[in-house]
Amino acid sequence: MNHKEFESKIKRVLISEEEIHNRIREVGSQVSQAYDGKPLLLVSILKGAYVFLADFSRAVSCPHKIAFMCAKSYYENTSSAGVVNITMDLDIDISGYHVLIIEDIIDTGRTLKNVLNLLKARNPQSIKVITLLDKPERRKVELEADISLFTIPDHFVIGYGLDCAEYYRNLPYIAEYDET
């Protein structure tokens, strides 16, 4: 893919870089106050949430650890495969931590529901979900984030870690992908 092809699929910017960073600072401050003095673990769902996790972690001033999981449900296209596969699990015992799952987007909710069930069975002190984007129109399972930074309509989105066939993660904003 060349640069012209890359740019041609960016239909429009939905959420600017500045809007994203402002909300992250706001929520990071809330989390810092709520979890100060408590054992806090931020769990990122790879690959899409890595950009969000990096910025969010810097916005949380209280001490915390990070850990990673990889769960796939989207493959080489723009619709969910409907199958969730945990391809990389945590390498830490979470029973002594307050766990915050840091997610990029909740779409159908299948992936996150499976991850939540898996992690709840490991008896963390508490578990909550913070998602950058929430797309409730597409929900296939009963699930709500504890904190959603932005609620978006049913568009396929890219940028700020979100991809289409592994491209566009590097955009500093959230954009609608042109599926035509």
Q: Which residues are catalytic?
A: 107
Q: Which region holds residue 64: left if phi is over 0, alpha if psi is between -120 and 50, else beta? A: beta
What angle do helix axes 17-35 and 50-59 make, rounded to 10 degrees?
50
Helix or strand or coil: residue 73?
coil
Q: Using CA atoms, how far apart are residues 27 and 150, in angstroms rounded to an integer? A: 12
Joined together, the tokens standing for residue 8 give 């041609």
